[in-house]
Structure 1
Amino acid sequence: MKVLIVNTLDIVGGAARAAYRLHQALLMQGVDSQMLVQSKISDDFRVLAPETTLKKYLSKLRPVLDSLPVRLYKHRSKTLFSTSYLPFSDMVERINTLNPDIVHLHWITSGMMRIEDVARINAPIVWSLHDDWAITGGCHIKWDCERFKAQCGLCPRLGSNRENDLSRKVFNRKKETYSKIRDLTVIGLSRWMVSCVNESSLFSNRNVLNIPNPIDVSTFSPFSKNDARKLFNLPSGKKLVLFGANSATSDINKGFSELSVALESVDAENTELIIFGSSEPQIAQGFKQKVHYLGHLYDDVSLRIIYNAADVMVVPSLQESFGQTAVESMACGTPVVAFGATGLLDIVDHLENGYLATPYDTSDLARGIEIMLNADNYAELCQNARDKILREFDSSIVADKFIELYEKLIINPVL
């Protein structure tokens, strides 16, 4: 079986890490897996990317060019909006030349290919949705907007007051393109994401399945807390709260503002905060607690160590299609506090392996942090967290689910 995983990047960003982990898990199960990306960071020879100097330069330029139509909307929000209009990508030609049995799409924006290109892929398509982009008129995070259920327009992410705006035009391009795709299976990484897909008019009458992202439970595993703290020069006698994500403090969806408010009600004398994914700002952000800024952590070894150094991981995201940092933390045996909404509902079990705060109540978020830090059954919470990941998200389990799906699609293609 020959599977081609397609993602804009290979190992940078949540979707890229998830796609690459699936690629590795498939290889471990004996599947002939390759990745095709627009920009390559790893040295994995099975990851294919532009090779000539000119194509490498264009791959860095394409995200900027693809964003130009969005920049015309002066009142747009800071959340990502992708049009995927940029022509002259050779990605589909490469996909069809490689002639895989299955093409598994993941995050394919930032100018990687036009929306219309997806319909030109010859092989059966599996598409894992890492955010809302595939079901909307261009926004990656819809929050409480429900216009995607019909046809978008009057887009709040664009700050638009017109029905026939860019979001409506992108939506209509997707509608026309998706109608031409013969063999497509849509993967929601969580039950919440599946429900969103089923509500979208773009994917009506499509096969939609819930299969999560995989995680290597040998890489992400418990490790001596004291040793972990020594490696990062963190105090041994304090309770440590961990928060982290890509652009942790600047991406408003990751909930840094909500965490900041919550921590005003959390003990400061015995508690300190660790932040990864952002560097220390020039102007102090006014936390009561001492803060340790670790910057960006690019490798799984460093992530494993910092998850084990912490007493609790806080994932206060406003919306998550899955919740990858929560899974990583729990695989290391560190309980998670999150808002009880969206994809995190599949991962955190309230008071069993973490705490699900009332969305988006910062007082309850603070309560959850305090409960986890001071729980009499803390060791049990840690073991429950690890056990949950072993049961449901281990790489071999998830890979087997995808292999079963791939085999069905190969045996019974849509003609």
Structure 2
Amino acid sequence: MFRVVHIVTSDNGGAGRACVRLHSALLKAGLESFIITKNKSSNLNNIQELKQSKFNKSLTKSIRNISLLPFRSSIKKASDYFSPNINIPFLSDNNKSLLQQIDSISPDIIHLHWIEGGFVNIHSLASITKPIIWSLHDENAYTGGCHYVANGCNENMFKCKLCPLLPKPSRVSYLTFINKQETYKKINITINGLSSWIATRAKESLLLQDKSIINLPNPIDTNLYKPLNKAFARKALCIDSNKILLAFGAIGGSSIKRKGFAQLKAALEMLNDKNKYELVVFGGQSQDIDGINVINLDVLHDDATLVLLYNACDIFIQPSLAENLSNAIMESLSCGTPVIAFNIGGNMDMINHKINGYLAKPLDAKDLSNGIEWFANLNLEQKEDISNNARNSILSKFDYKVVAPMYIAVYKEMLGGGGVIPLLSFSFTSFNATYSLYLILIFNYLSLNNLLHIISQYINKINILHSYQLNLVDSYD
């Protein structure tokens, strides 16, 4: 068997947990699988934290904070929406550290997952000659920085010249787009959409339309996420209720607009008989909802408690306004708990309307409410059928024993090539574009005199480097 190394910013959170599940599935299938992550929280086998000096960790964090400055004023939590991927030559050795750590593992395949948050500079991918596959957990890979394409972008198919998320004027999204475009031209990479929706979006995008694009899902351990006795699960969680329990979960869910808590709140307030229901919220504190008792379970850190939660509840509601392949939907269905969600993104890959859940009209709170009442009004036998359908839909398509062989088959097709090579080449054009991006990022935060001074120094540096290149060429004539 061969060796694969997964690269992911964190081994926690949605993308991190999905990556760890694939890693575990591959280990069980007999592959040598490793993970390198910037933020390690797991004690599972073969998961390594990126080896960085304290100075470089601080530098990386500072660079990321600077990159978010131009739009922090207009977006309360900019990193929830947008991650420009910048590279500042000579300032950070993060690329070098990561490449050296990859090389020490001697992998046959490099598998990228969610790599934003100041972890991987796109620029560094051009120095990897081993086969690369990239699982897209959101849309950032084919945009100028946004995680989910903003309204108004579709007409230009993500050219990112005038980003609706950024204050005007701002070219940071376009320059990030150009940096990605130049890097992608240099690498042979296979794109994995994870859902049919994002695979299609990637194929339509200007940045990835020429790449090989496949669609393989994340796996789940159905031996862990499985149906349990509902009364037992409620007792274990100290939930004393005979009402219909509705579950909603997302880290910071009620405060992040994309998670759809506003739509959920509106849907619940439209219910005809609110007294029949209680809402269980996990992942963060919830706002009050008129007429419905809310049970807050805060953040659930382990799989065992999540399994109890899904089994304790009658319905899981996923009101996200944008979603790729939701871990929570997959987990709930695997436990036999039907899901009500908007018909957006990758939700349709897992939810069959009125078969194992309910797909509401996109962003329509009234139809979300209709879905809740549809399930509540079913008789006991119908509810059991829906629950069985939910469980079987995951067993047939997403169980790790089904999914792992699919990835292994793709890896085998990709095998070939050399190894990781150091970042020794220097591109005058790339250097120019990168520092232009850096200047734009800080433009609004410096006085005009300071900015002119920096530009002057920048031009002198460019001239010196250009002269050096010319002299170097002359010396070989």
Q: What is the TM-score when the length of structure 1 is the normalising length?
A: 0.93
Which residue number corresponds to residue 276 of structure 1? 282
Equivalent position amino acid for 1:312 in 2:
I
Equivalent position amino acid for 1:3 in 2:
V
Indicate which of 200, 203, 214 corresponds to 2:205: 200
Indicate which of 118, 121, 136 corresponds to 1:111: 118
Name the SS for the 1:384 alignment partner: helix
Instruction: Provide the C-alpha distance between the structure 1 equivalents of 2:275 and 2:301, rounded to a whole number of angstroms.
Output: 31
Deviations 1:240-276 (CA, angstroms, capped at 9, x unpaired) = 0000022211221111010000000123212100001
Go from structure 1 to structure 2 and tell me whether the alpha carbon gap of 1:396 and 1:67 turns closer, same or farther (over 3 Å shift): farther
Instruction: Provide the C-alpha distance between the structure 2 equivalents of 1:287 and 1:103, rounded to a whole number of angstroms.
Output: 50
Deviations 1:204-241 (CA, angstroms, capped at 9, x unpaired) = 22110011111100110001100100111113411100
Name the SS for the 1:201 alignment partner: coil
Q: Report whether the alignment pairs 1:174 with 2:172.
A: no
Q: As a proportion of its length, which structure holds more helix? A: 2
Instruction: Provide the C-alpha distance between the structure 1 equivalents of 2:19 and 2:138, rounded to a whole number of angstroms.
Output: 13
Deviations 1:121-171 (CA, angstroms, capped at 9, x unpaired) = 221000000001001000111143326725212111123345xx1000000
Name the SS for the 1:202 alignment partner: coil
Say whether the 8 Å CA contact 2:275–2:292 is kept in structure 1.
yes
Which residue number corresponds to residue 32 of structure 1? 32
Which residue number corresponds to residue 104 of structure 2? 97
Query: 1:411 deviation in Å?
Result: 5.6
Query: 1:392 deviation in Å?
Result: 0.5
Q: Report whether the alignment pairs 1:294 with 2:292.
A: no
Indicate which of 63, 66, 80 corresponds to 2:64: 66
Mean CA deviation greater in 107-116 or 384-393: 107-116
Structure 1 residues without counterparts, runs of 5 or longer: none
Answer 1 or 2: higher relative contact order, Cα 8 Å, separation at least 6: 2
Instruction: Provide the C-alpha distance between the structure 2 equivalents of 1:412 and 1:85, rounded to a whole number of angstroms.
Output: 28
How do 1:138-177 residues align onto structure 2 when only pairs under 5 Å count?
Answer: 138-144=145-151, 145-146=153-154, 149-162=157-170, 165-177=171-183
Deviations 1:301-341 (CA, angstroms, capped at 9, x unpaired) = 11100000000000011111112211100000000000111
Instruction: Provide the C-alpha distance between the structure 2 equivalents of 1:380 and 1:61, rounded to a whole number of angstroms.
Output: 55
Mean CA deviation greater in 106-115 or 128-137: 106-115
Instruction: Provide the C-alpha distance between the structure 2 equivalents of 1:231 and 1:61, rounded to a whole number of angstroms.
Output: 45
Equivalent position amino acid for 2:60 in 1:
R
Say whether the 8 Å CA contact 2:143–2:158 is kept in structure 1.
no
How do 1:389-404 residues align onto structure 2 when only pairs under 5 Å count?
Answer: 389-404=394-409
How do 1:213-224 residues align onto structure 2 when only pairs under 5 Å count?
Answer: 213-224=218-229
Query: 1:84 deviation in Å?
Result: 2.5
Go from structure 1 to structure 2 and tell me whether the alpha carbon gap of 1:403 and 1:69 turns closer, same or farther (over 3 Å shift): same
Say whether the 8 Å CA contact 1:127–1:186 is kept in structure 2.
yes
Equivalent position amino acid for 2:324 in 1:
S
Say whether the 8 Å CA contact 2:341–2:368 is kept in structure 1.
yes
Say whether the 8 Å CA contact 1:323–1:347 is kept in structure 2.
no
Name the SS for the 1:223 alignment partner: coil
Q: Report whether the alignment pairs 1:410 with 2:409.
A: no
Equivalent position amino acid for 2:210 in 1:
N
Go from structure 1 to structure 2 and tell me whether the alpha carbon gap of 1:60 and 1:9 turns closer, same or farther (over 3 Å shift): farther
Name the SS for the 2:412 alignment partner: helix
Equivalent position amino acid for 1:278 in 2:
G
Which residue number corresponds to residue 355 of structure 2? 352
Go from structure 1 to structure 2 and tell me whether the alpha carbon gap of 1:45 and 1:371 turns closer, same or farther (over 3 Å shift): same
Structure 2 residues without counterparts, runs of 5 or longer: 419-477
Deviations 1:33-83 (CA, angstroms, capped at 9, x unpaired) = 00000111112241111357x44x754763453131221233246433112
Go from structure 1 to structure 2 and tell me whether the alpha carbon gap of 1:30 and 1:193 turns closer, same or farther (over 3 Å shift): same
Mean CA deviation greater in 388-397 or 404-413: 404-413
Query: 1:277 deviation in Å?
Result: 0.6
State the identity as a percent. Answer: 37
Which residue number corresponds to residue 88 of structure 1? 93
Go from structure 1 to structure 2 and tell me whether the alpha carbon gap of 1:231 and 1:240 turns closer, same or farther (over 3 Å shift): same
Instruction: Provide the C-alpha distance between the structure 2 equivalents of 1:51 and 1:161, rounded to a whole number of angstroms.
Output: 38
Q: Report whether the alignment pairs 1:303 with 2:306.
A: yes
Q: What is the TM-score when the length of structure 2 is the normalising length?
A: 0.81
Say whether the 8 Å CA contact 2:150–2:165 is kept in structure 1.
no
Tell me how many residue pairs correspond in the alignment: 405
Say whether the 8 Å CA contact 2:288–2:294 is kept in structure 1.
no
Go from structure 1 to structure 2 and tell me whether the alpha carbon gap of 1:140 and 1:150 turns closer, same or farther (over 3 Å shift): closer
Name the SS for the 2:39 alignment partner: coil
Say whether the 8 Å CA contact 1:137–1:152 is kept in structure 2.
yes
